[in-house]
């Protein structure tokens, strides 16, 4: 089945779903264009949906481009560099191999990385974040699931590209390992958002009402993530 669609100067990735009933357009975090559509939807219908929302699409593309101008620089694995974890920034300290057994750990308010492992710093940080995100996110999913009235199958933490989270067809909740860099209240918004997707595939009025019932201040958290989330993506 076709995975992309170009309409004039706009190129979209198509994500098919057997559960979806409507066509949804999205401009992702870094400006990627996505169409979420029911399986079997005709190309003509998809193109018509794009044309009907062209003004909105160009507005969102411009908005994302403006935010990307403020993208933080890539991290350097040197002493003094700051790395986020649950909203706080912790300075990195390179230490001698004899000082600790594991390559990377968070101790006494600092990340400590074995100096000889600095060239593999990204690998070690991704592993550390992933390992610490899984139990933290699982606990939050367990806490918020009853509020939403769903029972997710399991929680997975991995690289989701430009998405903070996604909901699998089999009830699996997927979260980007970078989610754990965000402040706790914002991570909880991502968790609640994906839990509601277990009930409502699309961002319909019913979706947002269900999210508001489980998290009354979701709009504040949503706006914060849109405005500040990019600061937590550099690594």
- Asked whether residue 43 falls in the same domain as residue 130, the answer is no
Pair (213, 132) in one structural domain: yes
Confidence of residue 69 (pLDDT cuts 50, 70, 90): low
Task: Please report the DSSP string for 97-161 in residue order.
Answer: GGG-SSSEEEETTEEEEEGGGGGGHHHHHHHHHHHHHHHHHHHHHHHHHHHHT---SEEEEE--T
Q: Which of 46, 68, 90 is the last residue of a domain?
A: 68
Give 109-131 pLDDT, tens digit per residue.
999 999 999 999 999 999 999 99
In-domain check, residue 74: no
User: Quick one: 139 and 227 in the same domain?
Assistant: yes
Contact present, 107 and 114 (Cβ < 8 Å): no
Tally of domains within the chain: 2
Looking up residue 216, the CATH number of its domain turns out to be 3.30.2010.10
Burial 57-89 (b: 16+ CB within 10 A, else e): beebeeebeebeeeeeeebebeeebebbbbeee
In a domain, 139, yes or no: yes
User: pLDDT tens digit string along 170-182?
Assistant: 899 999 999 999 9
Output the pLDDT for position 62: 80
- Local confidence band at 189 (pLDDT 50, 70, 90 cut-offs): very high
Residue 190 lies in a domain: yes
* 8 A C-beta contact, residue 185 and residue 165: no
Residues spanned by the domain of 181: 120-232
183 in any annotated domain: yes
Residue 131 and residue 49 share a domain: no
124 and 228 in a single domain? The answer is: yes
* Furthest CA-CA distance within the chain: 64
Query: What are the Cα distances from residue 114, in Å, to 44, 82, 104?
Result: 56, 16, 7
């Amino acid at each position: 089945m076709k995975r992309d669609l170009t309409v004039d100067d706009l190129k979209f990735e198509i994500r098919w779903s057997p559960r979806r009933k409507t066509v949804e357009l999205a401009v992702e975090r870094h400006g990627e264009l996505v169409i979420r559509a029911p399986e079997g939807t005709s190309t003509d219908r998809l193109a018509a949906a794009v044309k009907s929302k062209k003004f909105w699409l160009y507005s969102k593309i411009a908005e994302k481009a403006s935010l990307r101008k403020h993208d933080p620089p890539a991290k350097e694995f040197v002493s003094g560099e700051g790395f986020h974890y649950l909203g706080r920034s912790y300075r990195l300290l390179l230490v001698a191999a004899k000082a600790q057994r594991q390559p990377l750990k968070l101790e006494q308010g600092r990340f400590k990385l074995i100096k000889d492992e600095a060239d593999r710093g990204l690998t070690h940080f991704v592993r550390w974040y992933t390992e610490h995100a899984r139990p933290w996110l699982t606990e939050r999913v367990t806490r918020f699931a009853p509020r939403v009235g769903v029972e997710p199958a399991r929680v997975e933490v991995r690289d989701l590209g430009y998405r903070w989270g996604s909901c699998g067809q089999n009830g699996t909740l997927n979260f980007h390992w970078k989610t754990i860099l965000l402040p706790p209240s914002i991570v909880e918004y991502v968790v609640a958002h994906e839990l509601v997707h277990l009930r409502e595939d699309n961002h319909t009025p019913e979706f947002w009402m269900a999210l508001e019932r489980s998290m009354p201040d979701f709009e504040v958290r949503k706006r914060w993530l849109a405005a500040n989330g990019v600061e937590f993506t550099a690594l």
